[in-house]
Structure 1
Amino acid sequence: MESDDTRQRLTVRAGGARVAMAAAGVAEVIRTPRVTRVPHGPPGLLGVTHLRGLVLPVVSLGALLGDDHPADSTRVVVLRRDPPIGLAVDTIETLTASEGDGQVELQHGRLMLDDASGARWFDLDAALQDRFAAFRAARRAPEREVAARPAVAAAPDLAFLGFVLAGQDYALPLDAVAEVMAVPKAVVALPRTEAVLIGVFELRAEVLPVVSLRALLGLAERAVQADDRIVVVHIGDHRLALLVDRISVILRASRDAVGPAPTLFNRAGGEARIDSVLRLPDGRGLVSILVPERVIADDRVSRLLAETGDQKDMAMASTTSAAARERFLVIRLGDETYGLPIAAVDEVVRLPETLTRLPKAPAYIQGVMNLRGKVIPVIDQRQRFSVSGEATGEARRVVVVTLDGLQAGFAVDAVSRILEVEAEDLMPAPELSNDGDRLFDRAAKVEREGDVILLIDPRALLARAEADLLRDLTARSPAS
């Protein structure tokens, strides 16, 4: 005897047609979420979104039905598949009981269409496999592969996060930085506290005090501004949020470029917190290196930590879980953001105003730049990720990556932050690119934003750049 949901059909509108499908094959219907675009994805793939621990591909049903300009969808029908697939539809019409023998057909991946050409059957599974061949190869990676990602060998040089305070350049050791983010709206001011304390906010069930580095270093104070940034640092058992004016670059430097700070660097409010200075190449000046342990040793900061997070078990829990977290550099290309493991990043530098062009180089090679005496190619990721238009402005950066002896710079619109992700919030990404290369191997769930960020496999990124450059340059060479 058939159950009620076996005999029910869901009717939707998509691509100018009324479409009926078996309700038993539908897991749920959700409002159209924010969708992250997948570069080089097949036509009709709107992108991916996060749905309860899974990265859900969202496909336009109208595009599957042959509509070249489907209307904006209002709902996504999540189908029971392995893995699940979301069909974006214009509207939901009815949920009714099936009539006659139609429900048998509907249960086998077939849809009933009713449009200007009359009623007919549509084989959904065949259409998905034909137009989205990558779905056939999509396999959920074992959980251990997601949680235990092999680490990229660290560069032998020293690494720093550079930032600006009152027009001056400062830096913190990169290994002490957990995250970089915009100032949360939910920062709560506390009464009768030191001027260095901006307030407190909650980050993954932990209350973090926000300390003004301007005030701590005795620099001119000002009100918090929209483009200010929070740098979360971990120091022993403690985590602390530092307010800075803006993030500048990620710096890599040889040890001989770092020397002790002159005495005049530690005066007034900045006493004994600037331990060393980094000499930038080509006479571009000095960067003051802050010592996290000396920041936390300040009497005002230590009191704040005692008042806002005195629970020892919370500190121990934070220390334990830190080993199960990964850090990613979040880059922006057009309206989308993507993540790159920070362990694979050599450094982040400003995009030079002029680059040396390579004769006969493909268009996506913007040119070459000199990085401390080494010439590296700069690849325009907007073109590589098929982002329309041109990026302008001072926020453009070059992310320098080295793997297996191959080094390249990737030009991006901006570097927005550093994101620390719990292992449980890392998910395998489905194989959705047209060319079969698995450029995105994982995705990160950003809980506080209700978003999903596709994570780039740096090895695949460099391998694709190397292979394409060799192919294109060979194709442009005269025949022998």
Structure 2
Amino acid sequence: MDADEDLADEFDENSDYVTFDMAGERYAFPMRRVQEIIRMPAVVKVPLGPPSLEGLANLRGRVLPVVSLRRCCAMDQTGHDETTRVIVVDGGVPLGFVVDRVSSVISIDPQQVEPADSVQATVRSDVLVGVIKSGGGEMTTVLDVDSLIGSQFSRLSEKRTGRDTATGAKISAEQDADIELDDTLELVSFAVEGQEYALPIDQVQEIVQAPESVSHVPNAGSRVLGVIDLRGRLLPVVSMRHVFGLPVTPLQPQNRIVVVSIDGGVVGVVMDTVREVLRVPHQLVAPLPSVVAGDGRATEVESVCRLEDGKRLVSVLSVNRMFDSPEVRNEIAEYRQEDEPEMADDQGSADDGRGDEELFVVFRLDDEEYAVDVDTVQEIIRVPEALIRVPKSFDFVEGLVNLRGTVLPVVDLRTRLGLARSERDERQRIVVLIIGGVRTGFIVDSVAEVARVGRNVLEPAPELSAEQARVVSRVANLPEQQRMLLLVQVDQLLAAEQAGQAAELCEALVDEALAAV
């Protein structure tokens, strides 16, 4: 009796309803819970979420989780078409339900409503409020918004907790790694005319894909290619080929622009390709021999890294030496906006030089873009032709690889995030991270760029499942670029026991190798 009275009060309070169709049947939501109705947007798929989650969409600058109402109600799936709509409801945060077709908005008399004691077998009764009867024997089933959300997305209604703990764990892990990082040189390597060079990562602000063309300025000098728009700022662009005295070639899709600081401003340098992020022990880095230090092009090189037992030499460049010519510096300065030096001074006052921005390594998995804080990345390497298989290990562990004398466990990040495996190809890379004190490699489909993202576009990811909320903690919403980056919490990629087992496995293999010697 009390339940019936509560139901009557609910319908008295909500006489207006939005009706919609699914699988040939008619349903309704209370109008007061509906924020708006939109067409099916483009969505970014999120790993580790509930099965009903279609993805995240951008709704006027806000992140909108979009879910299939058919899946929530255990109905057969169907493709989207011109009549497909998304009903955005208030579920603590905005949440969009995909429906086949929106019908109308109706006003009802409470006498037309009966409790939903039993309904058609295609719909679960625990997500129903009641049934609206109309003339001609037609019925409209009213769905319970809160029950739908609770059955699939209970995290949305829970109080956000544990963020401080997670942040503290991240800081602690970074502090533990500081000792090791002090003894390494962090580099971004790239290729020019088939030769490999590198720049210290603290001299690199970000790496972006080269546009199809740059805007040339009339009567300008020949050293600067032109300018491009970088998030509302004019960025002067030079070619590394020109710096090295090589023929300058037209821009290609594989070209990247490395943005570096110079004289209180910034300049973009076009590279043939960007290869890897490296962390090289200082003992493998040697100054350039004095016999060649003053000879022409060699002046841009300040040191050489000896990798792979000396088979691979990487020349480390100095930004200041690259642009030590007064003519080049003056020409670059002519391209800068008048307000740029003032802004650069403001950035320089920040402790890390990043101001109100964060720096991320962006990579791709299954056509979606993910990102990790650049400070958590040890290096990025190619996937070797063969990995040492590990029996009775986790499903997502691909094997082991020898990284400059250190045993490195390698994880297939697709499998770890519940995505389908893919065939190995040349674009795949291993992103090396430290988790629980263990250096671990994660195979990704490709590494896209090092991106500088304003903190104003970073927001917490919708908490759609417990594991997803731990692993994909934040979202970088970039509507102007029509992009959404899923920011991965590195210390959550492996559970403590998994990281511990990886460490034990590596130690065991090292002991076996020493015993064999």
What TM-score, normalized to structure 2?
Answer: 0.80
Of 456, 474, 482, which residue of structure 2 is paired with 1:424?
Answer: 456
43 and 225 in structure 1: CA distance in 2 versus 1, 3 angstrom threshold? same
**What is the deviation of 1:436?**
6.6
Mapped pair 1:66 → 2:74: yes
Per-residue CA distance 1:287-323 (angstroms, 9 max, x = gap) = 1111122234333431233211152334335546732
25 and 213 in structure 1: CA distance in 2 versus 1, 3 angstrom threshold? same
The worse-fitting range, judged by mean Cα deviation, of 321-330 and 156-165 is 321-330
Residue equivalent to 2:150: 129
> SS at the partner of 1:383?
helix
128 and 113 in structure 1: CA distance in 2 versus 1, 3 angstrom threshold? farther
Residue equivalent to 2:230: 203
Residue equivalent to 2:108: 99
372 and 446 in structure 1: CA distance in 2 versus 1, 3 angstrom threshold? same
Hey, what's the Cα distance between the residues in 1 that align with 2:85 and 2:254?
35
Per-residue CA distance 1:319-340 (angstroms, 9 max, x = gap) = 4673221111111112111111
The worse-fitting range, judged by mean Cα deviation, of 405-414 and 434-443 is 434-443
Bigger radius of gyration: 2
Hey, what's the Cα distance between the residues in 2 that align with 1:422 and 1:111?
47
Residue equivalent to 1:478: none
Mapped pair 1:343 → 2:375: yes
5 Å-filtered alignment, 1:378-397, equals 378-397=410-429
5 Å-filtered alignment, 1:54-93, equals 54-72=62-80, 74-93=84-103
140 and 28 in structure 1: CA distance in 2 versus 1, 3 angstrom threshold? farther
Residue equivalent to 1:313: 342
**Matched letter for residue 83 of structure 1:** V
Residue equivalent to 1:212: 239
**What is the deviation of 1:100?**
1.6
Per-residue CA distance 1:245-268 (angstroms, 9 max, x = gap) = 111111111112112224547654
> SS at the partner of 1:272?
helix
**What is the deviation of 1:234?**
2.8
**Matched letter for residue 411 of structure 1:** I
Hey, what's the Cα distance between the residues in 1 that align with 2:383 and 2:496?
22
Residue equivalent to 1:139: 160
**What is the deviation of 1:63?**
1.5
**Matched letter for residue 367 of structure 1:** G
5 Å-filtered alignment, 1:282-297, equals 282-297=309-324
Hey, what's the Cα distance between the residues in 1 that align with 2:59 and 2:229?
24
**Matched letter for residue 272 of structure 1:** T
Residue equivalent to 2:302: 275
**What is the deviation of 1:167?**
0.5
Residue equivalent to 2:8: none
The worse-fitting range, judged by mean Cα deviation, of 230-239 and 213-222 is 230-239
**What is the deviation of 1:15?**
4.4
**What is the deviation of 1:406?**
1.9
Residue equivalent to 2:514: none
Residue equivalent to 1:170: 197
61 and 41 in structure 1: CA distance in 2 versus 1, 3 angstrom threshold? same
**What is the deviation of 1:349?**
0.6
**What is the deviation of 1:437?**
6.0
> SS at the partner of 2:186?
strand
Residue equivalent to 1:248: 275
Residue equivalent to 2:44: 36
**What is the deviation of 1:432?**
2.1
Hey, what's the Cα distance between the residues in 1 that align with 2:432 and 2:456?
28
45 and 355 in structure 1: CA distance in 2 versus 1, 3 angstrom threshold? same
8 A Cα contact 1:15 1:66, kept in partner: no
> SS at the partner of 2:495?
helix
Higher normalized contact order (CA 8 Å, seq sep 6+, divided by chain length): 1
**What is the deviation of 1:241?**
1.1
Residue equivalent to 2:121: none
**What is the deviation of 1:286?**
1.0
**Matched letter for residue 89 of structure 2:** L
Per-residue CA distance 1:5-41 (angstroms, 9 max, x = gap) = 9754333334443332233322223333322212121
**Structure 1 runs not aligned, ≥5 long:** 474-480
Residue equivalent to 2:434: 402
119 and 352 in structure 1: CA distance in 2 versus 1, 3 angstrom threshold? same
Per-residue CA distance 1:379-400 (angstroms, 9 max, x = gap) = 1112112222413321111111
Hey, what's the Cα distance between the residues in 1 that align with 2:37 and 2:67?
14
Of 242, 252, 257, which residue of structure 2 is paired with 1:230?
Answer: 257
Residue equivalent to 1:257: 284
**What is the deviation of 1:125?**
1.4
Hey, what's the Cα distance between the residues in 1 that align with 2:463 and 2:112?
32
Hey, what's the Cα distance between the residues in 1 that align with 2:129 and 2:216?
58
Hey, what's the Cα distance between the residues in 1 that align with 2:196 and 2:310?
14
**Matched letter for residue 450 of structure 2:** I
Hey, what's the Cα distance between the residues in 1 that align with 2:314 and 2:33?
60
Per-residue CA distance 1:75-125 (angstroms, 9 max, x = gap) = 32221232221112333333x34122389999x9958689x9953332221
What TM-score, normalized to structure 1?
Answer: 0.86
Residue equivalent to 1:476: none
8 A Cα contact 1:350 1:398, kept in partner: yes
From the two aligned structures, give the one with the greater helix fraction: 2
